[in-house]
Chains A and B, each alone.
Chain A
Amino acid sequence: MSIAATQKRGFGAVLWDYVTTVDHKKIAHLYLFAGGLFFLIGGLEAMLIRIQLAKPDNDFLSAGLYNEVITMHGTTMIFLAAMPLIFALMNAVLPLQIGARDVAFPYLNSLGFWLFMFGGILLNCSWFLGGAPDAGWTAYAPLSTTSPGHGVDFYVMGLQIAGAGTLIGGINFLVTVVNMRAPGMTYMRMPLFTWASFIASVLILFAFPALTVGLFLLMFDRMFGTAFFDVSLGGNTIIWEHIFWIFGHPEVYILILPLFGVFSDVFSTFAKKRLFGYTAMVFATMLIAFLGFMVWAHHMFTVGLGPVANSIFSIATMAIAVPTGIKIFNWLATLWGGNITINSAMLWALAFIPTFTIGGMTGVMVASVAADYQYHDSYFVVAHFHYVIVGGTIFGIFSALHYWWPKMFGRILREGLGKLTFWTFFIGFHLTFFIQHFLGLMGMPRRYWVFHSGDGLDLGNLISTIGAFFMAFGVIVFIINAILTARDAKAPADPWDGRTLEWATASPPAHYNFKQTPLVRGLDPLWIEKSEGKGKMTPAEPLGEIHMPNSSFLPFLFSLGLFVAGFGFIYQTDNKAWLAVLIGGMAFSLGTMVVRSMKDDLGYHISKEELEREAD
């Protein structure tokens, strides 16, 4: 361990360390903590929704507040919970899996996090400043352009800032995979999690700029009086839907692909088998990503694009079931005949297969245009996307956290509590959402704040609400588990008898990851060394100086400037004096850019002698 980590430090020193850190492992902690916090806020909003819908004609929430709660639930869960939790996993594991000492751009890594964090805080400030956005997470115009108050303005500015951070993160991981792989780590020897994260980063790169433009257009319409979506001046509201979904559909694959990678790694580790159909898995991931850009208009079947457009997008959508099916069968074949260990990580992975398959099947149903006219904006769609996003992304994140917790924090999560979390959440999830398919088919529309007692929807909604409480219980148990685990004994370097490079480092790894860059001799490099009786990696270089990047406070300051400017943008519509805040914030951020540009950042070196002093 490094000298700094072995000394007992005050809270202030730890805080300063995390605010200025450029170490991917600490940034992973930051993403996990922030994403977890927003996950709890989004979950609280979900509970409010389910309490409101527990009984007919309920008045627990007012209609306006209900709109704010559903909007913030969707927006928070997608942008502020699922995305950062995925980035936490990528940061924690991806550089280790390819044998790198850090990501390609450690400074940008920190900048990406702080942009996301300040964007998320800005969005949530709306609760205390006159009301949250209330136009749905999709913010369709003209509902969003005419929504009174500043709620939607907070949506625009918060997501713009957070989205910039996500784009930066995506580019960083792309370059890391292209340039930073250890000797012998060819593309077709990369673990599936690294592959899937790489492909998801490609999706981020090409999807997020569309959101950037969409948000700019919405911002111009709301704050500067333009006419993009103003029909009386020739505007067209459908443009928003196209741009939003050109971003939005790839976004759902950004949310799921890295977790497909997690499941692949978990299955092969706990079945003690090489992943079945590795090459097919890689190309299926690419095919899903490619098709993901070709299907955005299936969200718009009822807009009236015409039968030709609808048919093309319908067929393209159904085609995605093919590579997804390839993956499902390869996971099953990996398990087949394996020496299977069932623990918490594995339970989540096993539960994912049937759950996600149900979500995929309803996906093909809603992809059928004629039938979609019935499903559109009903609870059937709500059930469908919760089956894929919770059943895929959230199950995957839980699986990954149980699997990689020792690598991230040096402790193993407790099995008993892990299983309690799993069973309550798993049962609660199906209680909540399975019944919603039928509520949707019975005609219950999405986003309505009440249903009436004569509608025959009472029992289904009550069951759904009870399920939500089970899920909440499971999440609370997980948090207790994480806290209790901190006092447990330190985890060994390789608690699961792992196959990939991250298990060749200590738990948690030294801040430079690998004292000597490992030599990779094939797929599952650590497993190869174990099966040949060696048990540890062969170094690819002699012990020598390690170059490390400097910490920096600038990413925090840059993001803070944009955060302040965000308030200026929002309130300059009321009072032009706020333009000073806008300009001040932007100038401050530009100033930090100039400082960054003018001051050379050459990093520092850990000497060979210091490395020799530290134990293996």
Chain B
Amino acid sequence: MSHDHSLNPETMPHEPEKATLEGKNKFIGFWFFLGGETVLFASLFGTYLALHNSTAGGPAGNELFGLELVFVMTILLLTSSLTSVYAIYHMKNNDFGKMTLWFIITIILGFGFVGCELYEFHHYITEYGFTFRSSAFGSAFYALLGFHGGHVTFGLFWMIALLIRNARRGLNLYNAPKFYIWSLYWHFIDVVWVFIFTVVYLMGKVG
């Protein structure tokens, strides 16, 4: 490996994220990691499904959930997944400025999602007394949603760190895999949210 991997349109490989052995390793390694994450969330979903009727006299899902807010959150997160696709598109075209711009938009949408989620939790706790401790349903709800929200938050700070670190030096074959892997992570937590939206909120409303 030479130490300078700065890219220009002439030297740009087709897939900069997989152009080096390190990049290939990170790419495949992260896919494996997401396989493990799938089991992690599957276990949390299983726990939630087993306990979602165990309200212990407290509020149930169909009393708590407001689909309006959840709709907004879903739009925010799904859109942020789309904007991260744009960012990767510009990465592949070696346009560092536009990539950064779209990643910043992605992060803003992500913070919007986290803000809504915090508001939602605050609302449940203060208005309904529905907490992590109030019932087995509450424990399972906050565990599943909290793990997802924690993943979103971690992802946001991860991308901020990447953008700050690479702001001055542009794209190269050393950092291209890092941006690409972040986008894989972001899509994954988006997919998890689709399941949460269905299993927790929609089924909670009709169940």
A236-B50, A597-B162 given; A213·B32 CB < 8 A: no
Asked if B29 is at the interface (CB within 8 A of a chain A CB), the reply is yes
**B143 to chain A: which residues have CB within 8 Å?**
216-217, 220, 226, 228
Contact segment of B40-48, B78-86, B112-120: B40-48
CA distance A488 to B139 in the complex (A): 60
Q: Is A175's beta carbon under 8 Å from chain B?
A: yes
- Contact (A227, B133) CB under 8 Å given A104-B25, A174-B32, A597-B165: yes
B:1-38 near A, CB below 8 Å? 1, 3, 21, 24-25, 28-29, 32-33, 35-37
Q: Which residues of B contact A235 (CB under 8 A)?
A: 51, 54, 136, 139
B3 pairs with A217, CB closer than 8 A: no
B174 within 8 A of A: yes
Q: Are the C-beta atoms of B56 and A233 separated by less than 8 Å? A: yes
1/0 contact string of A221-235 vs chain B (CB within 8 Å)? 100111110101111
B165 & A598 in contact (Cβ 8 Å cutoff): yes
Contact of A104 among B1, B29, B53 (CB under 8 A): B29
Interface of B is mostly: helix
Stretch from A68-76, A203-211, A258-266 at the B interface? A203-211
Q: Bin chain B's interface residue count.
A: 35 or more
Q: Please tell me if the beta carbons of A234 and B51 are within 8 angstroms of each other in the complex.
A: yes
A contact residues around B3 at 8 Å (CB) = 602
Question: Roughly how many angstroms separate A252 CA and B132 CA in the complex, as a whole number?
Answer: 34
- Please measure, in the bound complex, the distance between the C-alpha atom of A456 and the C-alpha atom of B94, giving whole angstroms: 80
**Are A227 and B135 interface neighbours, CB within 8 A?**
yes
Interface SS, A side = helix
The answer, among B40, B47, B132, B137, for a CB contact under 8 Å with A224, is B132
Would B32 and A227 count as touching, CB distance under 8 A? no
- The total of chain A residues at the interface (CB under 8 A) is 45
Given A171-B36, A206-B39, A594-B161: A233 touches B136 (CB 8 Å cut-off)? yes
B36 touches A208 (CB 8 A): yes
Known A220-B132, A597-B162; contact A209-B43, beta-carbon cutoff 8 A: yes
Q: Looking at the complex, which one of A104, A234, A242, A597 makes contact with B137 (CB distance below 8 Å)? A: A234
Cα(A210)–Cα(B51), bound, Å: 17
Chain A residue numbers with a CB within 8 Å of B139 are: 220-221, 226-228, 233, 235
A167 within 8 A of B: yes
1/0 per residue A573-616: CB within 8 Å of B? 00000000000000000000010011010110000000000000
| 6 A-B pairs with the lowest CB-CB distances in the bound complex, closest first | A234-B54, A234-B136, A213-B43, A226-B139, A209-B40, A209-B39
- In addition to A216-B143, A602-B174, 13 A-B residue pairs with Cβ atoms within 8 Å of each other are A104-B25, A174-B32, A175-B29, A175-B32, A178-B28, A220-B143, A225-B132, A227-B138, A233-B54, A233-B56, A234-B53, A235-B136, A597-B161
